[in-house]
Amino acid sequence: MFSGSVRVNRESLEQFCQNVFIKSGLSESDSRSAAEVLVAADVRGIPSHGVGRLWRYVNGLKTGQMLPDAKAEILVDTPTSMVIHAHGAMGAPVSVMAMENVLNKAQTSGAAFGCVRDSNHYGIAGYYAMMALHKDMIGISMTNTAALGVPTFGRQVMFGTNPFAFAAPANKERAFVLDISTTVVTRGKIEVYERLEKELPAGWAVDKRGKTAHNAHTTLEDMFHRLGGGILPLGGEGELFGGHKGYGLAVMVDILCSVLCGAPYGAALSDTETSSARVSHFFGAIKIEAFRDPKDFRRDMDDMLRNLRECPPAEGAERVYFAGLKEFEIEAEFEKTGIPLLKKSYDQICKIGAEYGITCPVVVY
């Protein structure tokens, strides 16, 4: 019906995903949260974490890996900290709840932090960090994942892609939103290359011998079955370009997300054929007013970010960005023109919809 890709309306896509989640057993409010987080990835130009993953969530709910009616249990609750046991709940709704609680605590205490254990994939880390922006706070969010990354000088997966996000508000400039994996790329990006039948760039992953991997399908299969090989830490192979730094950051995320609240970590986390591993998250909020006047902070953020943006570009480059700027600009464009989805991804979610009697999202063109 369509060739290449299609563009869909954001509201229609969110409503479609929400209806799928409701049919899968989630409450209306949890379905709304899960849909908004999922579509937020696509609208910010991060398709590796967008609706292309809907089938994984649906399968997780079908098989019991994700429990639609799980009741989150608060294990620790102090003025500045909390630990939530998700009991296998959907990752996005319990994470939205956790970040809202952390923000409320920080409003009173100046700063607060929280862990969620025994959860599931929660989407893009930046979504939760950005929840702090309109409250004159700095937001922090991170999660561990199934083991997909190889340590420096290693060749077996020992930690996840373990992303983290940091968001700080500005005034006239776009907010600074750093949202990165601690590996060179995420598994989702390798899955995109597999769907496109493209060869992996050198420096993304290594094979079972610890040598450069090029075949996306083989790399994914070997990682899943723990046959050796995996994604390289941020910085790449060895220490020459700082791979050991990405390795250290990945372990740091495991410490904050799991060791701190007594949850599984590292190689103990693995995926199944139909769903993702039970994982843990960490959230933080810092009230700017606890340090200085938020207006002055935003003014100085504007100055710093503008200076970065106006830095003379390198020869052959068009412009200089700061973290989050590209995504904000992409979001503004997609709000007007529709969210682009690969035809394969669109057909896949339509197939899911058909199973539940749900009409496909509206195609803009």
Measure the CA angle with vertex 77, ends 73 and 81; round to 5°: 115
DSSP state of 188: H
Indicate the length of the chain as a whole number. 365
Report pLDDT for 335: 94
Question: Which pLDDT value is given to residue 179?
Answer: 97
- Scanning the chain, the segments in alpha helix (DSSP H) are 10-23, 28-43, 54-63, 91-109, 125-129, 187-196, 216-224, 243-257, 294-309, 325-337, 343-356
Q: What is the pLDDT of residues 68-117, one digit of tens each?
A: 999 999 999 999 999 999 999 999 999 999 999 999 999 999 999 999 99
How far, CA to CA in Å, does 182 sit from each of 62, 85, 160, 332? 30, 25, 8, 27
Distance, CA of 167 to chain centre: 14
Q: What φ, ψ does residue 80 adopt, rounded to 5°? A: -125, 0
Query: Which residue type is seen at 344?
Result: K
Query: Which residues, including other chains, have CB under 8 Å from residue 300's CB and lie 6 or more apart?
Result: none
- Spatial contact of 94 and 120, defined as CB atoms under 8 Å apart: no
- The tally of CA atoms less than 13 A away on the side-chain side of residue 336 is 5
pLDDT at 275 over 70: no
Q: Convert the pLDDT of each residue in 306-317 to its tens digit.
A: 999 999 999 999
Task: List pLDDT tens digits, range 182-210.
Answer: 999 988 789 889 988 999 999 999 999 99
Q: Collapsing DSSP states into helix, strand and coil, what is residue 218?
A: helix
Q: Report the alpha-carbon angle 140-270-153, nearest 5.
A: 80
Amino acid in the structure at residue 88: G
Higher pLDDT, 166 or 197: 166
Q: Are 122 and 91 in contact (CB under 8 A)?
A: yes
What's 209's DSSP letter? T
Calpha distance 187→167 (Å, rounded)? 23
Q: Smallest Cα–Cα separation from 174: which of 302, 315, 352? A: 302
Determine the average pLDDT of the residues in 218-226.
92
Q: Quick one: tokens of 100?
A: 């809202």
- Mean pLDDT estimate for the chain: 95
Count of alpha carbons within 13 angstroms of residue 116, beta-carbon side: 34
- The residue among 197, 221, 132 whose CA lies nearest residue 168 is 132
Predicted model pTM: 0.94
pLDDT surpasses 60 at 340: yes
Look at residue 2 in the predicted model and tell me its pLDDT: 45
250-252-254 Cα angle (round to 5): 75
Domains and CATH numbers, the chain: 5-293+325-356 (3.30.1370.60)
